[in-house]
Amino acid sequence: MKNMTASTPVTISDKLEWLEHRYWKFGDEENFDDYLMDLFEVDDEGHRTAEPRFDPLTRETKGLMFLGASDNGKTAFLMRALRVDPVLREFNIAQGGNTLYITVPPEASIKNLAEIILKKTGYTKVHAKLRAADAWELARHRFGVVGIKALVIDECHHIFRPGAGRDIPAAIQALKHIMQSEHRVALIIAGVPGLKDAILSEESGETARRFIEFSMARIRPGSRGAATFGRNFVKSANFLGLQVAEEDALPDRILFAEHGQVGASVGLGKEILRAAISRRRDAITLDAAERVYRKSNAGLDMTPFDSAEWDVVKSELTSIGWGQ
């Protein structure tokens, strides 16, 4: 973990703050960077630039659809990717930047999304009676005004929720028009698998075929991702002054408990470390980990943190249908 510094946190508050800001890799980060290579131009040295790929025959840029189950860590993954990217810089009014990151609220309509883009790019004169189509025309114009080269729309599935005042065909068209804007912008949309289904509801399929697809899978037992997660957990624990017994197989138990969901597994792992730090312990025990787990999973006769050997616990839980 390259983010570990020589300055070891000493106080409880410093340790907790350090832990909150840690991003634990799980192996898909390099794969995602490879997908980004297909969205942007490269220079003569083979390095990806911030200039979107542009097809002069169709006058369109490209899109990426980033899919993952709820609680699978999509947002942390995207924010980390943007934070460490060598050429993409998140835009804000004060400092500029070339990448606009938007999170869609659950209640947002397609018009609301355009208004969010306008506000985040510094346009504050939005009239209440402005039509959705006009709002989107203004939004696309703002990309050129402030120098946006990439638009990331997180929780994009929210604009496809059914209900009064919702216009799913218009929402699909709005996404397509971003890639057809005169101001060349690469589009990354992120959401649950239902996002793809919503876009595929367009009979022509014109919008769906403009996206390449990157899906976050669960971390499989014995995989490179599982090994990476385990190293991150143990290194973080040790850096914070906590011992982890190898024979307890705590990382494997955490992944099993959360069915390999990336975000949920990271969340549980950090909560176990947080509990130990707050209580001034010097080691992580199975009993302590189980107490943390049971606080949000009450009523279980047996958990993955049972004190028996991990192979025995895993076999017993599997036999009763755990994870099915």
Q: One-letter amino acid identity for 7?
A: S
| 56 DSSP 8-state letter | T
Gap between the Cα atoms of 324 and 318, Å rounded: 9
pLDDT of residue 2: 41
Gap between the Cα atoms of 292 and 277, Å rounded: 13
Gap between the Cα atoms of 298 and 249, Å rounded: 22
- Give the pLDDT means over successive 10-residue stretches in the chain (324 positions): 62 96 88 94 95 92 94 90 95 94 92 93 84 90 95 95 80 93 94 94 91 91 92 96 97 95 94 97 97 93 96 94 70
pLDDT of residue 7: 77
- Whole-prediction pTM value? 0.88
- Spell out the residues 6+ positions from residue 215 whose beta carbon is closer than 8 angstroms to its own: 66, 67, 68, 193
pLDDT of residue 323: 60
Gap between the Cα atoms of 301 and 299, Å rounded: 7
10 Å CB burial of residue 6 (0-12, 13-18, 19+) is: exposed
- Reading the block at residue 17, the tokens are 């703050």
pLDDT of residue 165: 64
> Which of 220, 319, 314, 317 lies closest to 265 in space, CA to CA?
220
